[in-house]
Amino acid sequence: MDLQRPRGTQDILPAETPIWHRVEAAAHRVAQSYGYREIRTPVFEHVEVFRRGVGDATDIVEKEMYEFEDRGGRRLVLRPESTAAVARALQQTSLLAEPPVRLYYIQSHFRYERPQSGRLRQHTQFGVEAWGVLGPIADAEVIALAESLLTELGLKRLVVRLNSIGCTDCRPRYREALVSYLSDHREELCGDCQRRLERNPLRVLDCKVPGCQAVVAGGPKPLDYLCEACETHLSGVEAALEALGITYERDGSLVRGLDYYSRTVFEIGYEKLGAQSTVCGGGRYDGLMEALGGKPQPAVGFGLGLERLILTLEAEGLLPPGESPVDVYVAYLGEPLGPEAMRIAHMLREAGQRVEMEALGRSLKAQLRRAQKLLAPFVVILGPQELERGVVVVRNMKTSAQAEVPIEQLAEAFHNQTA
């Protein structure tokens, strides 16, 4: 095989498209039920959108972008995420003239990573963003929206984890305290954490190495450093979640890799998925718009990975059963009857039936086998004897009952059958 799909991509075959339709339809419906409206942004953007929005020092920008130069010498990149792109779109248009603006998207994202279960180089996110909203109600609203979607799809036992990473006022104070504490215990940290200490010290908090956990346990707690405004915000989010009956876990070690997050961060996960068990991740990003050179605008939102969501549905046995792609299979005997069989198929299609017609001129036995394989409930059989009398045999594949029906009454017969 010399032609293969690029690494980390997948072909979604006809057997799988129904679950995608179902998930996407649910996402549209739930988002709209919260008053969110769909936005679509370009597949590629100028690199600067993500350099400034996501952050230069993040893994995404540093080593995961599909970057290229176009024929006009522009530095472009396949979007690695959508929030920065949406922020760019808002700046460029008049949408934000009348806040709040509630948006959602279902878009592909591209990151050059080593693939594994639940991680692809092209993946799809259902994302939701509320712009121009400052209060904790908005944070709770997007979490509730994600919950609604997961519930609607039949999922239970997903864990919501919640934390606050502070704002531009209090985060630096905590960061400083943490770095100074960790530096004193540098020798006790794992190699990864020694590097994290330089680049992204907050990451040390959720290291899984026992030794690091022990060090962290004795160090400064992020929540102790929250400023009053951030603390009030967090308890506001919790109060709203409680009012909605949404159960969550406070997780002081939950942090986010992207620069633009502030205050609220949250994840919704499903343990059975293995290492990539986070289905939904989000938070607040009040500083993003300014980082992109625009007027400051508070915002909160999340990204929900559809591939991971579908893996979860699969693991929970929630995939829809296979359904027949057709209502009627039109079989005929002998090439000369092809045109008349086509006419019959056409008539049925115009009457709203989904029809597959024999295309290979095989034996009746083979045609029936094919119809069975397709789970077609009915087969219309046209042979020379029938044609002579202007009728057709209609076979019910489930009961094996057969009846002759005049060709001109066929459409009506099926209409009554399915009505």
Point out which residues bind RNA (CB under 7 A).
Answer: 1-2, 4-9, 58-60, 81, 111, 113-120, 123, 125, 192, 196, 200, 203, 207-208, 256-258, 267, 274-276, 278-281, 303-305, 307-308, 333, 362-366, 368-373, 381, 383-386, 393, 395, 397-398, 400, 402
The nearest distance, CB 83 to RNA, in angstroms, is 8
Let me know: does 348 contact 411? Beta carbons within 8 Å.
yes
The nearest distance, CB 132 to RNA, in angstroms, is 21
The nearest distance, CB 188 to RNA, in angstroms, is 16
> Beta partners for 44?
78
Cα end-to-end distance, the chain, whole Å: 48
C-beta closer to RNA: residue 48 or 64: 64
C-beta closer to RNA: residue 169 or 404: 404
The nearest distance, CB 232 to RNA, in angstroms, is 26
Peptide linkage before 100 cis (omega within 30 of 0): yes
Distance CA 153, CA 155 (A): 6
Spell out where 259-411 has E strands: 262-269, 278-284, 299-305, 328-332, 355-357, 378-382, 391-396, 402-406
For residue 261, give the nearest of 229, 300, 228 by alpha carbon. Answer: 300
The nearest distance, CB 322 to RNA, in angstroms, is 14
C-beta closer to RNA: residue 231 or 251: 251
The nearest distance, CB 394 to RNA, in angstroms, is 10
Q: In a 3-state reduction of DSSP, which class is residue 227?
A: coil
C-beta closer to RNA: residue 373 or 415: 373
Other C-beta atoms closer than 10 Å to the C-beta of 97 total: 8
Spell out where 83-233 has E strands: 101-110, 122-131, 159-164
The nearest distance, CB 18 to RNA, in angstroms, is 20
C-beta closer to RNA: residue 74 or 373: 373
Q: In a 3-state reduction of DSSP, which class is residue 66?
A: strand
Place of tokens 């929970």: 316
Distance CA 36, CA 38 (A): 7
C-beta closer to RNA: residue 38 or 404: 404
The nearest distance, CB 110 to RNA, in angstroms, is 9
For residue 224, give every residue at least 6 positions away whose Cβ sits within 8 Å of its Cβ, in sequence order, or none.
none
C-beta closer to RNA: residue 225 or 329: 329
C-beta closer to RNA: residue 232 or 363: 363
The nearest distance, CB 382 to RNA, in angstroms, is 8
Helices (H) and strands (E) in the chain, counts: 16, 16
For 96, the token pair is: 């934000």
How far is the CA of 281 from the CAs of 142, 161, 165, 178, 258, in angstroms?
11, 10, 14, 24, 11
Instruction: State the amino acid at position 186 in one-letter form.
Output: R
C-beta closer to RNA: residue 364 or 411: 364
C-beta closer to RNA: residue 220 or 305: 305
> Beta partners for 402?
395
Let me know: does 390 contact 374? Beta carbons within 8 Å.
no
The nearest distance, CB 177 to RNA, in angstroms, is 20
C-beta closer to RNA: residue 149 or 236: 149
Residues in the chain: 419
The nearest distance, CB 165 to RNA, in angstroms, is 12
For residue 69, give every residue at least 6 positions away whose Cβ sits within 8 Å of its Cβ, in sequence order, or none.
75, 76
For 183, the token pair is: 């530096």
For 388, the token pair is: 């002579």
